[in-house]
């Protein structure tokens, strides 16, 4: 069953002021706005810091590659110098070895080398006279008998010619060659004088 009741309040129990004052609500709104502004600024600071960190990473990477490239270029230059030094040393060794071999060749071997070089320079077999010191004629005759020039060249002794020189002459002129010039040609001018 329903019963009706009433409650009576004394005047001192009633609030004299509103529960939330307008100033408090305004302060709360300002606080919310300050918090929102602080959040936005914090997000902007984080974004700026991330961009700065990315720039610094890229700068560090670029600096690393610059230094790495400098080191690699230095290594490449060093490799090229070592390669050049090795080639120069090898060339000097080969020239020295070849010079020793050439210097140890007997006079007969030298004569055969000179006449082979002379024959290699002739593309076509033409009638010619091969002149040499008389002491070399026997070796030259043996070589000439086996060469393609046997029918075209005739031997002639010339006592005024050095032992290691030959002259091939025809109606168009003469071609002189000797051991020293052949040696210079094989070794190169610098190595031949060393």
Q: What is the per-residue pLDDT across 97-143, written as a single tens digit (0 to 9) for each?
A: 877 877 777 766 766 676 777 677 666 667 888 898 898 888 888 88
Higher pLDDT, 41 or 167: 41
Q: Is the pLDDT score of 19 beyond 90?
A: no
Considering only residues 187 and 52, tell me which one the structure prediction assigns the higher pLDDT: 52
Task: Over range 29-42, report the average pLDDT.
Answer: 95
Does one domain contain both 182 and 111? Answer: yes
| Residue that terminates a domain, selected from 104, 131, 155 | 104
* Predicted TM-score (pTM) of this structure: 0.43
| Overall number of domains in the chain | 2
70, 104, 138: which is the final residue of a domain? 104
Q: Are residues 144 and 162 in the same domain?
A: yes
Q: Do 115 and 160 belong together in one domain?
A: yes
Instruction: Let me know whether 122 and 96 are in one domain.
Output: no
Q: Of 20-29, 40-49, 96-105, where does mean pLDDT reach its minimum?
A: 96-105
Position 88 in a domain:
yes
31 pLDDT band, cuts 50/70/90, is very high
Amino acid 9: pLDDT: 61
Residue 168 covered by a domain: yes
Check whether residue 65 and residue 120 sit in a common domain: no
- What average pLDDT does the segment 23-46 reach? 93
Lowest model confidence (mean pLDDT) among 12-16, 100-104, 119-123, 177-181? 12-16
Question: For position 130, what pLDDT does the model report?
Answer: 85
Please say which residue of 86, 104, 122 terminates a domain: 104
Across 21-30, 116-125, 171-180, the highest mean pLDDT is recorded for: 21-30
Strand 165-170 and strand 173-178: the pairing is antiparallel
* 46 and 100 both lie in a single domain: yes
Q: How far is CA 112 from CA 53, 106, 164, in A?
A: 80, 10, 10
Does 39 fall in a domain? yes
- Structure confidence at residue 46 (pLDDT): 95
**Residue 113 and residue 189 in one domain:** yes
137 and 184 fall within a common domain: yes
Does one domain contain both 96 and 111? no
Q: What is the structure's pLDDT at 66?
A: 95
CATH number for the domain that contains residue 184: 3.30.2320.30
State the residue range of the domain holding 80: 23-104
Residue 116 domain-assigned?
yes
- Residue 144's Cβ-count burial label (10 Å; 0-12, 13-18, 19+) is buried
Provide mean pLDDT across the span 37-42.
Answer: 96
Mean pLDDT for the chain overall = 83
């Amino acid at each position: 069953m329903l019963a009706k009741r009433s409650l009576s309040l004394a005047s001192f129990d009633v609030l004299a002021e509103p529960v939330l004052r307008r100033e408090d609500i305004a302060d709360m709104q300002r606080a919310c706005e300050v918090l929102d502004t602080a959040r936005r600024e914090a997000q902007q600071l984080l974004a700026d810091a991330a961009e700065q960190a990315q720039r610094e990473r890229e700068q560090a990477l670029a600096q690393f590659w610059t230094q790495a490239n400098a080191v690699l270029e230095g290594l490449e230059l060093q490799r090229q110098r070592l390669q050049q030094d090795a080639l120069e040393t090898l060339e000097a060794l080969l020239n020295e070895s070849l010079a020793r071999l050439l210097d140890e060749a007997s006079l007969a071997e030298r004569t055969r080398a000179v006449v082979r070089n002379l024959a290699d320079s002739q593309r076509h077999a033409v009638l010619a006279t091969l002149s040499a010191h008389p002491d070399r004629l026997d070796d030259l005759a043996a070589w000439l008998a086996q060469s393609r020039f046997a029918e075209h060249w005739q031997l002639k002794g010339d006592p005024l010619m050095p032992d290691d020189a030959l002259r091939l002459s025809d109606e168009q002129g003469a071609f002189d060659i000797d051991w020293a010039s052949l040696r210079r040609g094989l070794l190169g001018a610098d190595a031949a004088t060393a």
